[in-house]
Amino acid sequence: MSTTSVHAGWDARGAHGSLVPPIYATSAYAHSGHASLKALFARESEGFAYSRSGNPTTAVLEQRIAALEGGIGAIAVASGQAATTIALCALLEPGTHVVASSRLYGGTTEFLGDTLVDLQVSWSSVDPWDVDAWRAAIRPETRVVLLESIANPGAELTDLDAISAIAHEHGAVVVVDSTLASPALYRPGEHGADVVVHSATKYLAGHGTTIAGLIVDTGSFDPRRCPERWPRLTTPNERFHVTFADEYEAGGSGLLGFARAKYVTDFGATLPAQSARDVLVGIETLDLRLERISAHAEQIARSLQGAEGIARVNHPSAPGRADAHLAARDFPRGTSGVFSIDLEGGEAAAAAFCDALSVFTLAVNIGDVRSLVCHPATTTHSHLSTEQRAACGVGEGTVRLSIGLEDVDDLLSDLQRGLAAARTARDAGPSGAEPGDAEPGGAERGDAGPGDAAPTDAPGRASVLSGAGASRSRTA
Ligand SMILES: Cc1ncc(COP(=O)(O)O)c(C=O)c1O
């Protein structure tokens, strides 16, 4: 893993011996003759024509992440959101259906409930810990099963082996957002995932400098096994004059070929070469960072357990967590630096907590070397309905922590300062019984279910966007 992180995709013995992959700052590429450019556009050869759809620096990143995830190929795109959007658009057509975990990054739930609804794709939301609920939610028109390997913000782990087996029985593709885990902690392809997406903005880049996204084909999906379910991949494409599934013959990914040719190009969701280089440099230290960050996060989560003013610590190490066996079985190196705590006293306590911290920074990002804190109910998950937030484990008193690389004792002292402020706000306010104090989804404290027990047909656009500020520009 650490050797691959440093070397995959780049051979420094090439032109000029540049040890670090150079930034190819060019819009287009010169060709020696008419035939060469013609062959590229006809998909008869590989190479670069125009940087909207490919660049040599981003190609190094694509090879590196494919190697790290054990996949057959990857596409780098402009953001994690673009990675999810493009992966799902390439797999879904009007009239098809997605089964998704109720525990997702808020932006992903918004995409499912708004833009995908525009595209006439329906979806069902299920409790990720209820394996039978996944089975019950699958329909004949289901094409995609979607979940996060470590969920944002409550760090819930999912039995991906079991859920993948169910999805594959029904011919659905398993798409896993593995942003929080990164390949340093978990490789979804080894547990049945067909497609892995990343917000490389987080741990892969690692330093809070860059927005980037990645889509990896793990190599297990082959649309030719059931061509009638995947006509856009298995029949001749009138626009590109190829059948994308034929690209599997040569060891390529027909799915990624289609996604790049159609959606990266049409949406223009290009990753700049400079950003690709930032992510490549970040990946070089991924293994070291994740090892230390995960260990410190677990130490901090354990130390907060039972602290006065905290109703619940949402980390796999918390007593009674139904995913403790998954942490032991599938995540021997830890579960990242992201987890949440539910404070007594609702939003007032959460606000006082965030405002009292000085080592943690109030910011809507995770996976930075700096420790970050935010209040998901009013930021990252603010556009969801109250029910969706509850199913996602986000209450009024929930605060998300992203542990960075600072000294752990400094972080612990800072959190004690925050907790003292939260207790004062709780005791001063009338809000002792605010929704944030309740267990998300109505589960008992430390009990098995993180969200809805049964699959629910997810609400449409109106309720997804019912939160305040829906018409203003997004900040997270
Ligand atoms: C789990 C997860 N997936 C996807 C995204 C979207 O990534 P980006 O902000 O790079 O578009 C985020 C952002 O916070 C995230 O946390």
Mutate to test the pocket of ligand 1, among 85, 86, 182, 199 (most ligand atoms within 8 A of CB): 199
Dist CA 99 CA 86 (whole Å) = 17
pLDDT over threshold 90, residue 441: no
CA of 80 to the centre of ligand 1 (A): 5
More confident residue, 437 or 169: 169
Domain range 2-282, CATH class = alpha beta
Indicate the pairing of strand 195-199 with strand 213-217. Answer: antiparallel
pLDDT over threshold 80, residue 87: yes
Instruction: Quote the pLDDT of residue 54.
Output: 95
Dist CA 277 CA 290 (whole Å) = 20
Residue-wise pLDDT tens digits, 117-143: 999 999 999 999 999 999 999 999 999
Instruction: Quote the pLDDT of residue 429.
Output: 82
CA of 13 to the centre of ligand 1 (A): 35
* Distance, first Cα to last Cα, the chain: 31
Residue-wise pLDDT tens digits, 47-61: 999 999 999 999 999
pLDDT over threshold 60, residue 242: yes
Dist CA 475 CA 107 (whole Å) = 11
Phi, psi of 27 (to 5 degrees): -85, -35
Token pair listed for 179: 């942003």
Token pair listed for 312: 């619940």
Instruction: Quote the pLDDT of residue 471.
Output: 36
Tell me yes or no: is domain 286-464 CATH 3.40.50.1470.
Answer: no
Instruction: Quote the pLDDT of residue 472.
Output: 41
List all residues 6 or more positions away from 408 whose beta carbon is below 8 Å from its beta carbon: 296, 299, 300
Q: Ligand 1: which residues within 6 Å by Cβ?
A: 79-81, 105, 107, 148, 152, 177, 179, 199, 201, 211, 213, 366
Tell me the pLDDT band of 282, cut-offs 50, 70 and 90.
very high
Question: CA-CA distances (angstroms) from residue 337 to 103, 156, 297, 306?
Answer: 17, 13, 5, 20
Indicate the burial class of 26 (C-beta count within 10 angstroms; 0-12, 13-18, 19 or more): middle
Dist CA 219 CA 36 (whole Å) = 29
> Which residues, listed in sequence order, are joined to residue 28 by a DSSP beta bridge?
50
Token pair listed for 169: 């029985």
- Of the candidates 254, 178, 185, the one whose C-alpha atom is nearest the C-alpha of residue 219 is 254
Instruction: Quote the pLDDT of residue 15.
Output: 78
Characterize 169-190 residue by residue with b for buried, 16 or more Cβ atoms within 10 angstroms of its Cβ, and e for exposed: eebbbbbbbbbbbbbbbbbbbe
- Percent residues over pLDDT 70 in the chain: 90
Q: Whose CA is nearest to atom 9 of ligand 1?
A: 80
pLDDT over threshold 80, residue 462: no
CA of 431 to the centre of ligand 1 (A): 31
Instruction: Quote the pLDDT of residue 457.
Output: 55
Characterize 95-119 residue by residue with b for buried, 16 or more Cβ atoms within 10 angstroms of its Cβ, and e for exposed: ebbbbbbbbbbbbbbbbbbbebbee
Residue-wise pLDDT tens digits, 442-459: 333 333 344 433 445 554
How large is the average pLDDT for residues 206-210?
97
Q: Provide the mean pLDDT of the chain.
A: 91
Dist CA 338 CA 17 (whole Å) = 39
Residue-wise pLDDT tens digits, 309-350: 999 999 999 999 999 999 999 999 999 999 999 999 999 999
How large is the average pLDDT for residues 149-162?
97
79-88, 178-187, 219-228, 450-459 — which is least confidently predicted?
450-459
Q: What are the residue ranges spanned by the domains of the chain?
A: 2-282, 286-464
Dist CA 337 CA 317 (whole Å) = 12
Indicate the pairing of strand 456-457 with strand 122-126. Answer: antiparallel
Instruction: Quote the pLDDT of residue 449.
Output: 40
Phi, psi of 39 (to 5 degrees): -65, -35
CA of 156 to the centre of ligand 1 (A): 16
Dist CA 87 CA 175 (whole Å) = 8
Q: Nearest-5° angle of CA 474, CA 112, CA 338? A: 65
pLDDT over threshold 70, residue 422: yes
Residue written as token pair 């070291």: 288
CA of 328 to the centre of ligand 1 (A): 26
Instruction: Quote the pLDDT of residue 371.
Output: 98
Token pair listed for 330: 């599938």
Q: Nearest-5° angle of CA 218, CA 222, CA 227? A: 155
pLDDT over threshold 50, residue 424: yes
